[in-house]
Amino acid sequence: MADKKNVDSTSRRAFLKTSGVALGGLIVGGGVTSLLTGKASTEKKQTKTTKVDYSEALQFFKRSSDFDALSAATEAIYPEDENGPGAIKLGVPYYIDKQLAGSYGHNVNDYMKIPFQEGEAPLYNADIILQGVRRLNEVSNTQHKKLFKELTEDQQIEILTQFEQGKVKMRLVNSAIFFALLREMTLEGCYCDPVYGGNKNMAGWKMKEYPGAQMSYANIIEEEKFIKMQPVSLASHK
């Protein structure tokens, strides 16, 4: 008479093996080992997960060509150099996008009634920026047969200078106003508190050695030398 223990063991292994084939190979490798021994396989497939940065989600811009022109323009105004990151790495384009989608983009707190300057009517900030970045691409295409983002840095600066000097025709607004607004919002995005969408990782503050939203300076108020501190965002105070 055969040893029942050996028969059961052999039958079990045969069943698991043929079941794996019958099920299309669902039970393979470590799966068989775990079923036979009751232990999970030490060989685990590594799954790479990508962390999603929800701060980089567009709320105002609908066309990638508009947003690309904006991004390139902000980088030309505040470029990356040996001192630190430029506007794009600081998240400035997304900061501007968020501002234009909100009350600032619609001039909620500004006086928007007559009288106006001759030949001009008040436009929302959102309208000025949107029209301006589209004109950047149009002027770039006319002068270089390329989109603004595809130009060299010198070519981009040349076109932005034309806007700054009011030489580019725009509807109901002078191009110098567009450039001034774009430059202002670019600098805001570089040095604002990160809760507003710019100054990513507080890199703008770190370049300036700005301490950010510290709760108190009581422990260093009497120090005569400069104290370098790690910056703190408003988001840290809960």
Q: Reduce the secondary structure of the chain to three states and give it as a string.
A: CCCHHHHHHHHHHHHHHHHHHHCCCCCCCHHHHHHHHCCCCCCCCCCCCCCCCCCCCCCCCCCHHHHHHHHHHHHHHCCCECCECCCCCCCHHHHHHHHHHCCHHHCCCCCCCCCCCCCCCCCCHHHHHHHHHHHHHHHHHHHHCCCHHHCCHHHHHHHHHHHHCCCCCCCCCCHHHHHHHHHHHHHHHHHCCHHHCCCHHHHHHHHHCCCECCCCCCCCCCCCCCCCCCCECHHHCC
Q: Which residues pair with 35 in a beta bridge?
A: none
Confidence tier at 60 by pLDDT (50, 70, 90): very high
Does residue 12 carry a pLDDT above 80?
Answer: no
Does residue 176 carry a pLDDT above 90?
Answer: yes
Residue 16: what pLDDT?
A: 38
State how far the Cα of 52 lies from the Cα of 201, in Å rounded to an integer.
Answer: 15
Which residue reads 């100054």 in tokens? Answer: 199
Domain presence at residue 45: no
- Asked if 122 and 81 touch (Cβ cutoff 8 Å), the reply is no
Does residue 5 carry a pLDDT above 70?
Answer: no
Residue 102: what pLDDT?
A: 95
Q: How many domains does the chain have?
A: 1
Domain presence at residue 48: no
Domain presence at residue 178: yes
Q: Which residues pair with 84 in a beta bridge?
A: 81
Residue 122: what pLDDT?
A: 83
Domain presence at residue 183: yes
Sequence-ordered list of residues with C-beta below 8 angstroms from that of 11, at least 6 positions apart, any chain? none
Residue ranges making up the domain that contains 61: 57-208
Domain presence at residue 186: yes
Does residue 120 carry a pLDDT above 60?
Answer: yes
Residue 3: what pLDDT?
A: 52
Confidence tier at 52 by pLDDT (50, 70, 90): low
Domain presence at residue 33: no
Determine the average pLDDT of the residues in 158-165: 98
Confidence tier at 152 by pLDDT (50, 70, 90): very high
Domain presence at residue 110: yes
Residue 175: what pLDDT?
A: 96
Domain presence at residue 32: no
- Long-range CB pairs of 100-109 (<8 Å, 24+ gap) are 100/60, 100/61, 100/125, 100/126, 100/129, 100/130, 101/59, 101/60, 101/126, 105/60, 105/129
Peptide bond connecting 122 to the previous residue in cis, omega within 30 degrees of 0: no
